A and B are shown apart, each in its own frame.
Chain A
Amino acid sequence: MMACLLEAPLRISVLSEVTATSRHYVDRLFDPDPQNVLQGVIDMKNAVIGNNRQKANLIVLGAVPRLLYLLQQSSSSLELRTECAVVLGSLAMGTENNIKSLVDCHIIPALLQGLLCSDLIFIEACLRCLRTVFISPVTPVQLLYTDPTVIPHLMSLLSRSQHTQEYITQIFAHCCKTPEHQTVLFNHGAIQNIAPLLISPSFKVRMQALKCFSVLAYENAQVSMTLVNVLVDGEQLSQVFVRMMQRDKPIEMQLTAAKCLTYMCRAGAIRTDDNCIVLKTLPCLVRMCSKERLLEERVEGAETLAYLMEPDIELQRIASVTDHLVSMLADYFKYPSSVSAITDIKRLDHDLKHAHELRQAAFKLYASLGSNDEDIRKKITETENMMDRIVSGLSESSIKVRLAAVRCLHSLSRSVQQLRTSFHDHAVWKPLMKLLQNAPDEVLVMASSTLCNLLLEFSPSKEPILESGVIELLCSLTQSDSPALRVNGIWALMNMAFQADQKVKVEIVRALGTEQLFRLLSDPDTNVLMKTLGLLRNLLSTRPHIDQVMSSHGKQIMQAVTLILEGEHSIEVKEQTLCILANIADGNTAKELIMTNDDMLQKIKYYMGHSNVKLQLAATFCISNLIWNEEDGEELRTRGSCGGSQERQDKLRDMGFVDILHKLTQASDPNLCDRAKTAMQQYLA
């Protein structure tokens, strides 16, 4: 009760302004005659309505603890308690500081306690005040969930009146922020209790109930699955939502209903080809992006639409031709407009406030639209100044915009054509590289993933990126704690090493260091392991490179290969490893590392007889390379460095490989059969 009074600094600073009348109101709360107290509270109520200074004064003078005391006192008359709740509600309507003071005075438990009273008018007054407190951003939502009896009691109060319905659903809609909150509300029957309110005669109740469903269903399969089976007055809930999206309904209602259906769809409760999604929700969200809507609505509309169609190419295709969406989004970049700057300061302020939000929403939606379809990507990059906008978005101060811009860039970078044309023309790699230098992880993940695509061999940006000294950066990514960053780092290196010059390969090996390379080969993340093997395989291509890498790192590589082949790994990993071995077998000098390793030859033999055709094929490929008979062999023999193909063939025959190859020529898999036959021909040659 004394909590507020302890806030001394505030008190002193404002005290000077406190007028005598304010003090008079507070003094009357302490009158010994209850009738005078009641009249005092009523007068106070009339004095504070719409008067923020008066509200602050009363709070500073300690009215809140006294009002709470009177409200909680069972000896107070019901009328007095109700008036106290009304005044507190009025104080809460003021500034955020007011709310803070009220919360500090423990107004929430006091009001929640008040809900246990049987008098409806009193309950409504308490709920109205609670509503005002809870919808403020300064109130910790957790306070609703501290006492486990509160939620069930609120559920039971839903049936009392339209006012209780409105306030309680509004509280739920604002205080459901995490999956845990969703579960608590769900377990206490939120769906059954709130669904009937969707057809309430009161618009406010319908609207708040709808908002409840949108926060309950968000990324929540359990809620979404339940929702599809709910009937409201004999009608399916999804149909009720569809009706709420009709074009003559208020925009807020259309948008929120579209969110509900979007979340249900993304949670897997409604198919993406359901008419209520394709013909209703999607067009409704596209409409929300139109110029006629408010800036806030356009942001929400675009974000929700991006989320809806992210995983579905068909929805992306439909959206891309609906109401000129792609060019409509270009308008999102025109804030603040040049007109607003000159004519109207208020509008300029409003535009500025929303400009970042608009841009990031547009980038998100472009990213979603272009994530699968080549034609759509083309359409996006051909939109006025699109690439320039992305490039400048990458270096904006707002992290949200940077992230969205890089997501957009990533989505477009999946296009071979765009990599070859617009990406190169606009030198997007430059800001991208800059972004990679210093960015939070989520931006880094997207940026490095985009970089992977820019490093593909057909990308003309590959060369300048290489020259910019990216290798060190990528190597440092492979040391990140985040598996996603490690994958992207090694993946980019893998792409970089593909058909690269000897110089580049050497540089990669040097920068990465064999120690890090082998650490990555034992990475707990399979993706990292696979890409590392991919890197090795790319490093070990074309004969001179193979021999050079193997001559300097042969021992460690053979060890690592042995380790992986002996370990518990997936077929894909082992296949990739055998392919590396096959590459080694293709080298001139490197061959000997296998030929002299009987243990390894036994392993190859084992995999030639494996039940999985892919592994058989890779192992056979390896043998085929070992017995390959060509001029290089001759040349080498004359140099006398090591044995020629004849000797290898003999050794392998002795080890029984010919028999196996013979058997494999009868294999049912045509590729394996061909490969075995080709190898056998080497013996005949």
Chain B
Amino acid sequence: MYQVLKEVGLDLERANQIAGFHTNNKQKIGVPFAAVFLINFLDVCYQEKELNQRLKRLYPAVNEQETPLPRSWSPKDKFSYIGLSQNNLRVHYKGHGKTPKDAASVRATHPIPAACGVYYFEVKIISKGRDGYMGIGLSAQGVNMNRLPGWDKHSYGYHGDDGHSFCSSGTGQPYGPTFTTGDVIGCCVNLINNTCFYTKNGHSLGIAFTDLPPNLYPTVGLQTPGEVVDANFGQHPFVFDIEDYMREWRTKIQAQIDRFPIGEREGEWQAMIQKMVASYLVHHSYCATAEAFAKSTDQAVHEELASIKNRQKIQKLVLSGRMGEAIETTQQLYPSLLERNQDLLFMLKVRQFIEMVNGTDSEVRCLGGRSPKSQDSYPGSPRLFNSPVHKASSSQTYQTEQNNAEVEMELDHFSNGVSESSSNGFLNGSSTHGIDLEECDGDMVDSAQSKRQLCGGSQAAIERMIQFGRELQSMSEHLRRERGKNSANKKMLKDAFSLLAYSDPWSSPVGYQLDSIQREPVCSTLNSAILETHNLPKQPPLALSVGQAAQCLSLMARTGSGSCAFASVDDYLH
């Protein structure tokens, strides 16, 4: 069963909980009930997985932490004549249904986030009951639930008995056909132009409402006994092809962006873009390219060439994993920088430790570790948009959250645990001769993953690494005494040391640290620190504007501009 649950995509904790409940009941109620229960349960699981996948696909721009999507009707936000069942998706009427005063509505759990761009849900009429006075629509929070949607201010509905639309008014307008048992009615909110249209059995009925206010909730209302409707917030495929409609709007928005009028200012734009490109090249120390570009576009470079080259040199070292050399070079070229910035130094050293484990740091490499990729063959360009300000930091926190539970170990565990945990023959085959740096560069055989060994497989290197780890530990303690607790530093060190707890650190839960991609944030932080000492911006304007665009989009989402849904920054970065 666990296997099944895993496939369904359910977390084990929840599975345990349910399975426990299930076994307890088996003894009392018997196998058939258990089987039915399990089937129902699995059904719900599949549904849940499908729902999550569909919502992700339909509304990729929605940040559900901030604005959760409606997934069911709210048991708290309904009139008492409304009954809910089937995971709060089925609504039935349980009042007297004598007069319109007996009308009753229910809202979804959450309002529709603007970042959907286009939002859609469907309602299937299971039974029209006595008179089929059913209303499907939208309402704002706080609108009276003892009414059908559409009758009050900030409430909108399409009614089955007469096919009229009700726009915050007790009298309807002729709108569409009537609907009854077996029909599927869809409601689509366009958050870009603030309109709404309905569908019946997959056919669009045309615009029903315009100038809709923000933050509306999907709402249904019933009025006579026997009326039953089921909602589909994405649990099942929709009858209407909403994705096709969204495609049209995505194209529209993107065409709007592409055709944004520049007018008379074309020259200004060009100069600005050239400046941005040049500063980007300089920032990341592509000095030859920067020079050539500046020359051809007739610009001045605001930094001396030598300085750029220095930064380039340091960056290359960091990106190829040669942290020891990188630190040394930095200290040489910018003597006071690291002294003044102990946290930065600490971060660099932690990275050096990781590179030692990796077998790429120059100190251990010359003790017989494997050689790093040559400088030139490194994929090269620092990822512009992985700057620590945005993605990198968030992805790190994400990963650590995930791993926290399983990395329950003592910090100093590494010192005595090393030899056992990494006992898979790191002694054999390693060269015992000291090889100097240049030679290391020469024999550039990046061993296959299966051959990865701690510190490149050299005993001497391991000893050096352990010694370095102790130095790092004492530096950490020193820093704490001097400047007080620093949780970021503590965590950094803990994560790095955790590598030693596994026989194969690369495939361990903390193995991501060994990935060369993790050098990029380090490299970028160091680069920014150097630039700051020269009174240059620590981020290139290009990265800044990309970050700004992303911020702008999330601000749009918060202020109700639906077009942000179809203008992902990533679409424009190839």
Contact = CB atoms under 8 A, between A and B. Distances in A.
A525 interface: no
B241 A323 contact: no
A12 interface: no
Interface in A261-299: 279-280, 283
B247 A279 contact: no
Interface string A312-346: 00000010011110001000000000000000000
Interface stretch (B199-207, B221-229, B290-298, B442-450): B199-207
A246 interface: yes
B205 A321 contact: yes
A248 B176 CA distance: 27
Contact of B176 (A247, A283, A321, A328): A321
Contacts of B248: 247-248
Contacts of A328: 206
B247 A322 contact: no
Contact of B204 (A246, A248, A280, A323): A323
Nearest to A328: B206
B244 A321 contact: no
A321 B251 contact: no
B378 interface: no
B334 interface: no
Contact of A283 (B177, B204, B250, B251): B204
A247 B241 CA distance: 11
A322 B206 CA distance: 7
Contacts of B207: 324
B245 interface: yes
Nearest to A318: B203
Interface in B225-254: 241, 244-245, 247-248, 250-251
Contact of A248 (B203, B205, B250): B250
B206 A323 contact: yes
A321 B247 contact: no
Interface string A506-536: 0000000000000000000000000000000
Contacts of A280: 241
B202 A246 contact: no
Interface in B385-434: none
Contacts of A324: 205-207
Given A247-B251, A248-B250, A248-B251, A321 B203 contact: yes
Given A321-B176, A321-B177, A321-B200, A246 B206 contact: no
A246 B176 contact: no
A318 B250 CA distance: 27
Nearest to B202: A279
A267 B244 CA distance: 28
Given A321-B176, A323-B205, A323-B206, A246 B244 contact: yes
Contacts of B206: 322-324, 328
A178 B572 CA distance: 48
A283 B250 CA distance: 19
Interface string A404-415: 000000000000
Of the listed residues A283, A321, A328, the one surrounded by the most CB atoms of chain B closer than 10 A to its CB is: A321
A261 to B, nearest CB: 15
Contact of B244 (A247, A318, A322, A323): A247
B202, B203, B207, B245 interface centre (most CB from chain A within 10 Å):
B203
A213 B248 CA distance: 25
Interface string A241-252: 000001110000
Nearest to A323: B206
B523 to A, nearest CB: 40
B20 to A, nearest CB: 46
A322 B245 CA distance: 14
Interface in B194-216: 200, 202-207
B245 A247 contact: yes
Nearest to A280: B241
A322 B204 contact: yes
B303 to A, nearest CB: 45
Given A246-B244, A247-B245, A279-B241, A322 B251 contact: no
Contacts of A246: 244, 247
Nearest to B245: A247
Contacts of A322: 203-206
B204 A247 contact: no
Nearest to A317: B177
B407 to A, nearest CB: 46
A280 B241 CA distance: 9
A317 to B, nearest CB: 9
Interface string A630-673: 00000000000000000000000000000000000000000000
Contacts of A279: 202-203, 241
Nearest to A322: B203
B534 to A, nearest CB: 48
18 contacts: A246-B244, A246-B247, A247-B244, A247-B247, A248-B247, A248-B250, A248-B251, A279-B202, A279-B203, A283-B204, A321-B177, A321-B205, A322-B203, A322-B206, A323-B204, A323-B205, A324-B205, A324-B206
Interface of A: 246-248, 279-280, 283, 318, 321-324, 328
Interface of B: 176-177, 200, 202-207, 241, 244-245, 247-248, 250-251
Query: Shortest 10 CB-CB distances between A and B: which pairs?
Result: A247-B248, A324-B206, A248-B247, A323-B206, A248-B251, A321-B177, A247-B244, A247-B247, A322-B203, A279-B202
Given A247-B248, A321-B177, 20 more contacts: A246-B244, A246-B247, A247-B244, A247-B251, A248-B248, A248-B250, A279-B202, A280-B241, A283-B203, A283-B204, A318-B203, A321-B203, A322-B203, A322-B204, A322-B205, A322-B206, A323-B204, A324-B205, A324-B206, A324-B207
